[in-house]
Amino acid sequence: MSERRVVVTGYGALSCVGNNVAEFWDSLVNGRCGLGPITRFDASGYRTRIAGEVKNFDAASVMSFKDAKRMDPFCQYAMAATAEALASAGLPADLRAEDCPVDRMRVGVLVSSGIGGLGTLCDQMISLHERGPSRVSPLLIPMMISDLASGNISIFSGAGGPNLGIQTACATGCNSIGESFWMIKRDDADIMICGGTEACIVPLGVAGFCSMKAMSQRNDDPLHASRPFDLNRDGFVMSEGAGVLIIEELEHAKRRGARILAEIIGYGATGDAYHITSPAPDGDGGARAMTMALRHAGIRPEDVDYINAHGTSTELNDKFETLAIKKVFGDYARKVAVSSTKGTTGHALGAAGGLESIACIKSIEDGIVPPTINYETPDPACDLDITPNKAVRRDIRTALNTNLGFGGHNAVVIYRRFED
Residues with a known catalytic role: 170, 310, 347
C-beta of residue 359 within 8 angstroms of C-beta of residue 28: yes
Cα–Cα distance, 393 to 317 (Å, whole number)? 27
How many Cβ atoms from other residues are within 10 Å of residue 203's Cβ? 17
Residue among 407, 165, 418 nearest 269 (CA): 407
Helix residue spans in 158-202 (DSSP H) = 172-185
Cβ partners under 8 Å of residue 16, min gap 6? 34, 35, 51, 52, 53, 54, 55, 239, 240, 241, 345, 346, 348
Cα–Cα distance, 25 to 10 (Å, whole number)? 15
Cα–Cα distance, 31 to 343 (Å, whole number)? 8
Residue among 382, 359, 385 nearest 370 (CA): 359
Conformational region of residue 235, where left means phi above 0, alpha means psi within -120 to 50, and beta covers everything else: left
The total number of residues written for the chain in this structure: 420
Cα–Cα distance, 66 to 79 (Å, whole number)? 14
First to last CA, the chain: 18
Cα–Cα distances (Å) from 161 to 107, 155, 402, in that order, read 5, 11, 27
Looking at this protein, which amino acid is placed at residue 398? T
Cα–Cα distances (Å) from 149 to 82, 162, 350, 361, in that order, read 10, 14, 12, 23
Cα–Cα distance, 369 to 379 (Å, whole number)? 21
Q: What are phi and psi of 247, to 5 degrees?
A: -115, 150
Residue among 262, 251, 178 nearest 3 (CA): 251
β-partners of residue 268 are 412
Cα–Cα distance, 180 to 189 (Å, whole number)? 9
